[in-house]
């Protein structure tokens, strides 16, 4: 359970902080000295009504403080957004690493930022704290500039709330693009366009490139909010879709994960066609399709390069694991 910190928590918080600092130092991370953060800092956070604790039973296993105003050193770097929730002094009991405690705290922060209409969440960490840097990236924080006065690296996560109006999902076959599109469509109450359902007609007959482009453009014109799913990087609509999107999601899973997804999908629909596909489009795996998936990394590099052009201007989300994607989806 996460709750507001109370004055009676100060001794437990001080003990927790000492354990975290000792663990950092033991791992060669000198992000905090032995004198910070300690009881006086937590007391000030409580006085400012800014400190939250994570409890497991009667034991405090994590904590973090929220502020809206950036510290002066934060003003030395360029952030993506101005109206932000800033996380300070996030701590997790070293004995609870890999328990999900840190993720619980971050999800709480994200949901609060959604609820209160912030445009982003900001945090910083020591350059040598590779564990924290990796954790933040997995939770869709963008690594920013070096904050010289603090010797810290800036991280920022954009808050979707009402900004997710035109979503584009990309990735290899078998990564669950269609499933994610349907999930987002249901959760956000927006229409979805599954590009395969346009391109493939009865018995795997394909539309011409011109007709396909015409159908896609018609959908994009008719809807102000939507989610599209599918790559079709050789279509003239690829960059059109990307430029129109405000949110680009790349399912950057391994080839093994993609092949596993394809095999599971074929087993589910074997000798039948999916309800979203035209009659006669029987779900089967052939060598040509498997070769396409095995070679998809080349196409994926092109997709990522194109999407990276819009970093900072659009919300570009790149998931390397399905678990990370679902963790993000849960915060919407």
**55-108 confidence digits (pLDDT tens):** 999 999 999 999 987 789 999 999 988 899 999 999 999 999 889 999 999 999
Average pLDDT over residues 238-256: 95
Homologous superfamily assigned to 2-159: Gcn5-related N-acetyltransferase (GNAT) (3.40.630.30)
Q: Against a cut of 0.85, is the pTM above it?
A: no
Q: What is the pLDDT of residues 202-217, one digit of tens each?
A: 777 889 999 999 999 9
* DSSP summary character for residue 78: -
Predicted confidence at residue 270, as pLDDT, reads 61
Q: CA 173 to CA 135: how far, in whole Å?
A: 27
Q: Can you tell me which residue has the tokens 């359902």?
A: 197
Q: Which comes out higher in pLDDT, residue 68 or 271?
A: 68
At CA 111, angle to CA 242 and CA 84, rounded to 5? 70
Q: Where are the domains of the chain?
A: 2-159, 162-330
- Position 164 scores a pLDDT of 85
- Please provide the average confidence, as pLDDT, over all residues in the chain: 90
Q: Is 126 exposed, middle or buried (0-12, 13-18, 19+ CB in 10 A)?
A: middle
Average of per-residue pLDDT across 325-331: 89
Does residue 281 register a pLDDT over 60?
no
In terms of CATH, what superfamily is 162-330?
A: P-loop containing nucleotide triphosphate hydrolases (3.40.50.300)
Phi/psi of residue 152, nearest 5 degrees: -135, 160
Backbone angles phi, psi at 224, to 5 degrees: -85, -30
Q: In the β-sheet with 247-251, what is the strand arrangement from edge to edge?
A: 192-194, 226-229, 166-171, 247-251, 315-319
Tell me the DSSP string of 258-316: HHHHHHHHHHHHBTS--TTS-TT--B---HHHHHHHHTHHHHHHHHHHHHHTTBTTBEE
């Amino acid at each position: 359970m996460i709750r507001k910190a109370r004055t009676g928590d100060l001794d437990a918080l001080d003990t927790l902080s000492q354990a975290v600092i000792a663990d950092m130092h033991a791992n060669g991370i000198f992000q905090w000295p032995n004198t910070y953060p300690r009881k006086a800092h937590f007391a000030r956070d409580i006085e400012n009504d800014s400190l939250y604790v994570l409890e497991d039973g009667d034991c405090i296993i994590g904590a973090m403080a929220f502020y809206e105003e950036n510290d002066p050193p934060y003003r030395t770097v360029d952030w993506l957004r101005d109206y932000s929730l800033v996380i300070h002094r996030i701590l997790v009991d070293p004995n609870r690493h890999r328990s999900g405690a840190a993720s619980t705290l971050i999800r709480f922060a994200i949901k609060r930022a959604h609820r209160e209409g912030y445009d982003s969440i900001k945090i910083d960490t020591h350059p040598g704290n590779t564990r924290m840097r990796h954790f933040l990236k997995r939770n869709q924080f963008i690594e920013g500039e070096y904050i010289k006065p603090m010797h810290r690296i800036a991280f920022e996560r954009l808050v979707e709330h009402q900004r997710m109006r035109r979503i584009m999902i990309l990735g290899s076959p078998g990564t669950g693009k269609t499933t994610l599109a349907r999930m987002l469509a249901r959760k956000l109450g927006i229409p979805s366009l599954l590009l395969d359902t346009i391109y493939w007609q009865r018995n795997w007959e394909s539309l011409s490139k011109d007709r396909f482009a015409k159908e896609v453009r018609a959908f994009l014109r008719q809807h102000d909010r939507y989610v599209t799913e599918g790559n079709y990087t050789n279509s003239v609509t690829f960059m059109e879709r990307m430029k129109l999107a405000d949110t680009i999601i790349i399912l950057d899973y391994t080839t093994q994960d993609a092949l596993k997804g394809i095999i599971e999908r074929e087993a589910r629909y074997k000798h039948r066609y999916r309800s979203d596909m035209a009659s006669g489009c029987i779900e089967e795996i052939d060598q040509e399709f498997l070769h396409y998936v095995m070679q998809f990394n080349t196409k994926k590099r092109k997709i990522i390069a194109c999407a990276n052009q819009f970093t900072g201007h659009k919300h570009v989300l790149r998931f390397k694991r399905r678990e990370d994607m679902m963790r993000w989806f849960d915060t919407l």
